[in-house]
Structure 1
Amino acid sequence: MLQDARFRAIAAQMLLTIGVVAIMFVLFTTTARNLELRGIPIGFGFLWKPANFQIAETILPYSSSDPNWWAAVVGLVNSLFVSVLVILLASMIGLFIGIGRLSQNPLLRGICRVWVEVARNTPLVVLLIFNYALWWEILPLASEAWRLAPGTHVSVRGLSMPALRWSESGVVPFVFLVASVACLIGAAYAANWRQSVTGRRPAYLAVAWPLVATGVALLLFMHRDAISIEMPEFRRANFAGGWSLTPELTTILIGLTFYTAGFIGEIVRGGILAVRKGQWEAATASGLTRAQTYRLVVVPLALRSIVPPLNSQYINVIKNSTLAIVVGYQDFMTVVSTMINKTSHAIEGVAMILGVFLLVNLALSALLNAYNRRIAIVEH
């Protein structure tokens, strides 16, 4: 039996597992005993006690009398809100940077290269602190705010912009809009499947777009009183109404987007360079313009090289969002750190941080890996 290589491998793995579990058990029991001697109980019962601290900027409703677990949820939503916005903005900007790095225009190519070099060679925490300090040094007071667009102002108090407001009667067009988008996405998948099977793309999708657009437009017109645009107005020392972003949130959005877009730009450039020269020549011979070549040929082919490293960058965005603590934005990391300081449950708090970020990143990685498998070339 000992001569069986498979048996020896299984036995070695079992012994290693038992050793790891034993070490973890000793560490846990020793830590629990030491905490008990110091009068610090271990457990997650503190999550149901009132938080008794404020969160300055929230997406979900929150008050200091809410339990700690709800404060953690509010902080997590703040982190996910920042991460999603940064991922969307950095992806769009990074795409243009990657294409701009290959442009024939020397000015555009130089600007994109400077962006990439600054982003890749500057520590993110230094970049955030610099942006935050620059915000307070350059921008004027709210009474003298710079007007970027109609209803959009920026000052030391933050960024104010118009907001879309829905009344209760606006639920019907909103639900219809969401259902229409879902139907169009389902129809697009069905059309792609039909084309892959028969080689011919059905025409119903081309007809569905104008019909759905017409229906949505008519429904929005019928419920036009339920939808309004609220413009920010200057009152006393700050703007009221509309949608406002604090300097802290704006700083983390700008800094993290600038940083991530530089890395994504290089990923996009590498993916485009991986497309074979013959594909470019075939697109040119077909009469496609350079913009059409990028949109219809190059970018779809480059995605096979872009998606795997892009997965890592998106995960880094979620992890780097914890650096919001350096500019005072209260994300999940900051909220749980406040709980630790107030309750002395450091081990439980750190375990929450590790567990939550592990689950979020694994879920994001699973989604991107599924998409990567979908676009990958299958060798038979």
Structure 2
Amino acid sequence: MLQDARIRAIVVQAALLAGLAALGFVLLTATMRNLELRGIPLGFGFLWRPANFQIAETILPYSASDPNWWAAIVGLSNSLFISVLVILLASLIGLFIGIGRLSSNPLVSGLCRVWVEVARNTPLLVLLIFNYALWWEILPLATAAWKLAPGTHISVRGLSMPALIWSASALAPVAFLGTSAAVLLMASHAARRRHVETGFRPAYVRSAWLLIAVGAGIFLFAYRDAASLDIPEFRRANFAGGWSLTPELTTILIGLTFYTAGFIGEIVRGGILAVRKGQWEAATALGLSRGQTYRLVVVPLALRSIVPPLNSQYINVVKNSTLAIVVGYQDFMTVVSTMINKTSHAIEGVAIILGVFLAVNLALSALLNAYNRRIAIVER
């Protein structure tokens, strides 16, 4: 019987699975016994107890009396907030770095190359610590803060800037933005379908933007009394009012953006170089300028080579955001680590960290893979 290759393969795989199951059982029973000896119960009941610790900087409302599960969600919102900001900024900067690396101007290409080499060859942890130390060494005290723009100041206390205060229901701007996005998607889909059927692309998208601009004007006029600008003012030892970015948040934002943009710049450069020379020549023959060539021909074609490695970089951003702990920014990793230290539920806490980051990265990967399938060339 074992002479049959198929049966032999099944037996080997079954033995391997049985060995793994036995190893898991031994580890689980040993862990349960050790926890029982230490008087530490295994379970997730601690998530419903009061957190009893503060989170200095939050996106969602939070107090120390809230349960641990809400503290974890608040920490996750901080991580997602910094990750989304870094992804947007690094993608935009990386696009210009990748194009700048191919520039015929030696100054532009040289500066972009320096950025890439420093970012790719410097440990991110060292870069964050250096940026944080530089912040405290260079910037002045709040009493002598640098004025970057009207109402915008930067000092060792952070970056203070004006904030838009909305006094009406939050559903109104959300409904307007949702409607605008739906109109744009419908116009883009209709224009693309018309272009496939007739070879002519109508100006549906431009008309949609015009309609949205008119709607925005009507919306702002109707709610002109609901919005106000809160300008920060210096009181005692710091600025009060407006919107403030702490040194910790600014450090992780600048450091992680600088680091990620270097990698994205090289991905963009490789994608552009993958576009065939004939496409450039065809664009030149049509009389397109260099900017139009990049926007209409090169970048759309390069996306097919850029998106797959870009997927990995975006996932790395989410994972690298956990290094915010070294500068004191309280993200998801820091909050759950505090919960572990207070409750001694290390196994459950680590399982929560692993599960949440796995879910977030899988969701992000699924979105980018769906976009990649949409722009891929299908051979028929």
Give the Cα separation in 1 of the matches to 2:345 and 2:335.
13
Q: Contact 1:140–1:155 at 8 Å: present in 2 too?
A: yes
CA spacing shift, 1:242–1:322, aligned 2, 3 Å: same
Counterpart secondary structure, 2:177: helix
Partner of residue 364, structure 1: 364
Partner of residue 216, structure 2: 216
Q: Contact 1:170–1:227 at 8 Å: present in 2 too?
A: no
Letter in 1 for 2:270: G
- Residue segments in structure 1 that go unaligned for 5+ positions in a row: none
CA spacing shift, 1:173–1:119, aligned 2, 3 Å: closer
Q: Contact 1:319–1:357 at 8 Å: present in 2 too?
A: yes
Letter in 1 for 2:124: L
Partner of residue 236, structure 1: 236
Moved more, 203-212 or 72-81: 203-212
The alpha-carbon deviation at position 336 of structure 1 amounts to 0.7
Partner of residue 133, structure 1: 133
CA spacing shift, 1:93–1:34, aligned 2, 3 Å: same
1:276 counterpart = 2:291: no
Identical amino acids, percent of aligned pairs: 81
Give the Cα separation in 2 of the matches to 1:6 and 1:168.
69
Partner of residue 299, structure 2: 299
Give the Cα separation in 1 of the matches to 2:227 and 2:190.
33
Letter in 1 for 2:148: L
1:57 counterpart = 2:50: no
Letter in 2 for 1:42: L
What does 1:320-359 align with in structure 2 at a 5 Å threshold? 320-359=320-359
Q: Deviations over 1:286-334 (max 9, x none)?
A: 1010011011111111111111110000000000000000000000110
Give the Cα separation in 2 of the matches to 1:138 and 1:99.
32
The alpha-carbon deviation at position 63 of structure 1 amounts to 0.7
TM-score (norm 2): 0.96
1:95 counterpart = 2:95: yes
Letter in 1 for 2:15: L
Letter in 1 for 2:179: A
Partner of residue 47, structure 1: 47
Partner of residue 12, structure 1: 12
Give the Cα separation in 1 of the matches to 2:169 and 2:256.
38
CA spacing shift, 1:199–1:249, aligned 2, 3 Å: same
The alpha-carbon deviation at position 202 of structure 1 amounts to 4.3
Partner of residue 191, structure 2: 191
The alpha-carbon deviation at position 57 of structure 1 amounts to 0.4
Question: RMSD between aligned alpha carbons?
Answer: 1.6
Partner of residue 259, structure 1: 259
Q: Deviations over 1:62-93 (max 9, x none)?
A: 11111111111110110000000000000000
Q: Deviations over 1:224-258 (max 9, x none)?
A: 11112221111111111111010000000000000
What does 1:158-169 align with in structure 2 at a 5 Å threshold? 158-168=158-168
Letter in 2 for 1:323: L
Partner of residue 155, structure 1: 155
The alpha-carbon deviation at position 17 of structure 1 amounts to 2.6
Q: Deviations over 1:170-204 (max 9, x none)?
A: 74354223312222223212322343344343454
Counterpart secondary structure, 1:224: coil
Counterpart secondary structure, 2:244: strand
Q: Contact 2:230–2:241 at 8 Å: present in 1 too?
A: yes
Q: Contact 1:94–1:262 at 8 Å: present in 2 too?
A: yes
Letter in 2 for 1:223: Y
Give the Cα separation in 2 of the matches to 1:256 and 1:174.
30
Give the Cα separation in 2 of the matches to 1:269 and 1:308.
14
CA spacing shift, 1:202–1:294, aligned 2, 3 Å: closer
CA spacing shift, 1:169–1:27, aligned 2, 3 Å: closer
Moved more, 341-350 or 223-232: 223-232
Counterpart secondary structure, 1:239: strand
